[in-house]
Amino acid sequence: METIKLLIIGSGPAGYTAGIYAGRAGLNPVILEGLQPGGQLTITTEVENFPGYPEGVDANEMMDDIRKQAERFGADIRSNIVTKADLDQRPYRFTLDDGSEVAAHSVIIATGASAKFLGLSDEEKYRGVGVSACATCDGFFYRKKVVAVVGGGDTACEEASYLSGLAEKVYLIVRKPFLRASKAMQDRVFENPKIEVLFETNTEGLYGEGGVEGAHLVHRRGEADERRYDLPIDGFFLAIGHKPNSDLFAKWLKLDENGYIMTEGATPRTGVEGVFAAGDVADPLYRQAITAAAAGCKAAIEAQRYIQENGF
């Protein structure tokens, strides 16, 4: 079995940045890219809010730049997926999708969080060309346009409020006859003249040539007064939550009620010695590329200190 100093699981901004710092520290880190090299950011078209790109940059191009930087400093980037973890014994052991095993003295978990989608085939068809799961990331592209947000909780209300500062009109599509959001968030939505709430409404599909031009909606589905209609929109935002990719480590790490890895204070430490968490898998609040990259930096510095102190 191969034994290494540091294993980084995940390849988004957190994983690659951790690889840059760990590589420069001489740790010869191994990064496992997983199913989505570059992380969730690669489903976005253009990134305009990451420092260093004044004119904006294609998301895949940006992640490839960060990947190359990690490789430059000695990160060994592999396309494997972890299928089994064992944090009971040290060095920690992992089984990969090709059947091989690797042991690591220190681990950075940067597996991210996956946005929840409705399950419509059209969501995949228009992903990046009208469908988004991040208003903060993509809202700028819908200035003076008409958009819809799906969801009825705090996140959906917050996304709708944010988008109302950019878009001409925001529809909030809610399948229930009420909002689940806090009273303060509900008040903010109801008092905003640019937001219209569509209660008891479900999305059954999207349409458009080359991008989203509208949504197929149904009001009070299955009821006697059911009504189906098309709503012209330019953008469709999902705000029904994220699922952190933490299941593999649930036996050993503390998770919050939604599955996010809980770290100690402002550090990336998980409570298991030598195991750190960075990026969206441990961040239910911000979920931005820049905050994930910062967390990857902190995790790598912590890992370097741990490895040095223990003489690995």
Distance of CA 126 to the CA centre of its chain: 18
CB of 225 closer than 8 Å to CB of 239: no
SS3 state of residue 307: helix
The DSSP secondary-structure symbol of 260 reads: P
- The whole-angstrom separation of Cα 6 and Cα 301 is 12
- Which ranges of the chain does DSSP label H, i.e. alpha helix? 13-24, 59-72, 121-125, 135-138, 154-164, 183-190, 289-310
Q: State in Å, rounded, how far the first CA of the chain is from the last one.
A: 17
Told to judge if 297 belongs to the known catalytic residues of this protein, a careful annotator would answer no
Catalytic residue among 88, 97, 134, 256: 134
Report CA-CA distances (Å) from 263 to 89, 106, 273, 298, 302.
Answer: 21, 16, 12, 12, 13
Told to judge if 157 belongs to the known catalytic residues of this protein, a careful annotator would answer no
Tokens of residue 73, six digits: 């400093």
- Which ranges of 179-273 does DSSP label H, i.e. alpha helix? 183-190
Nearest one of 70, 100, 64 to 82, comparing CA atoms: 100
Told to judge if 134 belongs to the known catalytic residues of this protein, a careful annotator would answer yes
Catalytic residue among 64, 86, 97, 137: 137
Between vectors from CA 119 to CA 227 and to CA 291, what angle results, nearest 5°? 120
Catalytic residue among 138, 234, 280, 283: 138
Name all contacts of 24-27 with Cβ < 8 Å and 24+ positions apart.
24/73, 25/300, 25/304, 26/74, 27/300, 27/303, 27/304, 27/307
- Catalytic residues, which ones? 134, 137-138
